Amino acid sequence: MKVGIYTNKLTSSQVTKHKLTELLLQNGFEINDKEPDVVITLGGDGTLLAAFHHYIKQLNQIRFTAVNTGHLGFYTDWQNSEIEQLVESLKKDDGKSVSYPLLKIIVHFNQTNRQPKTYLALNESILQKITSTLIADVYLGDQLFEHFRGEGLCISTPTGSTAYNKSVGGAIVNSSLKILQLTEVASINNIMFRTLGSPMIIGPEDKLTIVPSAKSDYFLTVDSESYQCNQISRIEFALCKQDIRFVKYRHINFWKRVQKSFIGEV
Ligand code: NAD
């Protein structure tokens, strides 16, 4: 098995990387960061997100597993004190994996000669206006659903539902469900302007399109990255056919993970 190690810059991660590399080599694994079968991330959720984007063109070949070298992470199944157990599990690998849905984002531009841009998100994508209120039309399929005014719109995956989505009042969604969620960020609701005002769960067949009104600058956030976009004609959001796969040795039950991360001992 070819194993890639993807780490953040923290000293604790570098120390763990050194130990893990030795352990993997002693146990007959090949370290291969270019074309790995399994990628082990050392850090937190941000490191796993960065590794996902780093290996985005190889998602078909790669399974991920994440070791936490800092405070408690949401995607991380292992603590850095448990790397011996992780290597033992890798030795017994039977190729099983658990998959989580991804969000596909296609940005279309006003200029006819400008190619659409496609992004994949593991957590979410957020559309915001930089200097003033975001004014946008929200379509579900071909139907104009609402005129939105406010700070922004967040579209999250099930695993992303515990991240930014949760902070803006979205529901926490079981990661096994193939759905997306649309949440409003500080929408304006009064006698003049009206939005649904509730988070919406969007099914696998529903295509969500956002048409921002003014021809000016927007921030499109995709997980940890923000892109300044101008001249957007529309943005399409849908579940991606491609999933992210994690190795299944130590798959923690979703609701246990939620409880452990947000509630603690009961
Ligand atoms: P970061 O990497 O510093 O992460 C910020 C926090 O979000 C960390 O505590 C991280 O553990 C947590 N997090 C990330 N993914 C999570 C998930 N799926 N479930 C639960 N917690 C999760 O910040 P960044 O690099 O700027 O952005 C990475 C992610 O952090 C974004 O995708 C976004 O969802 C999240 N974030 C959340 C808020 C917020 O809740 N207000 C603000 C910024 C970023």
Q: What is the pLDDT of residues 112-170, one digit of tens each?
A: 899 999 999 999 999 998 788 999 999 999 999 999 999 999 999 999 999 999 999 99
Question: Average pLDDT of the chain?
Answer: 94
123 & 237 share domain: yes
CA of residue 164 to ligand 1 center, whole Å: 6
Active-site annotation, residues: 45
Average pLDDT of span 182-192: 95
91 & 68 share domain: yes
State how far the Cα of 54 lies from the Cα of 254, in Å rounded to an integer.
Answer: 25
126 & 226 share domain: yes
51 & 76 share domain: yes
Question: Reduced to 3 states, what is the DSSP secondary structure of residue 145?
Answer: strand
109 & 233 share domain: yes
Residue 175 burial by Cβ neighbours in a 10 Å radius (0-12, 13-18, 19+): buried
Judge whether residue 216 has pLDDT over 80. Answer: no
Structure tokens that stand for 89 in this block: 């599990």
State how far the Cα of 126 lies from the Cα of 119, in Å rounded to an integer.
Answer: 12
Of the two residues 250 and 54, the one the predictor is more confident about is 54
Of the two residues 77 and 59, the one the predictor is more confident about is 59
Banded model confidence at residue 196, pLDDT cuts 50, 70, 90: very high
The predicted structure's pLDDT at residue 230 = 85
112 & 236 share domain: yes
116 & 152 share domain: yes
79 & 206 share domain: no
- CATH of residue 62's domain is 3.40.50.10330
The response to whether residue 46 sits with its C-beta less than 6 Å from ligand 1 reads yes
The response to whether residue 45 sits with its C-beta less than 6 Å from ligand 1 reads yes
Name 122's Cβ contacts closer than 8 Å, sequence gap at least 6: 48, 49, 52, 100, 102, 103, 157, 159, 160, 223, 244
- CATH of residue 193's domain is 2.60.200.30
Residue 243: beta bridge partners? 101
**pLDDT for 16-60, tens place per residue?**
999 999 999 999 999 999 999 999 999 999 999 999 999 999 999
User: Which residue of 9, 10, 41, 45 sits with most ligand 1 atoms within 8 Å of its CB, as the best mutation to test the pocket?
Assistant: 45
223 & 253 share domain: no
111 & 238 share domain: yes
Q: Which residue's CA lies nearest to atom 5 of ligand 1? A: 46
Give the chain's domain count: 2
71 & 8 share domain: yes
Percentage of the chain modeled with pLDDT above 70: 99
Structural domain boundaries, residue 197 = 102-242
User: Which residue of 52, 53, 77, 123 sits with most ligand 1 atoms within 8 Å of its CB, as the best mutation to test the pocket?
Assistant: 123
55 & 7 share domain: yes
CA of residue 141 to ligand 1 center, whole Å: 29
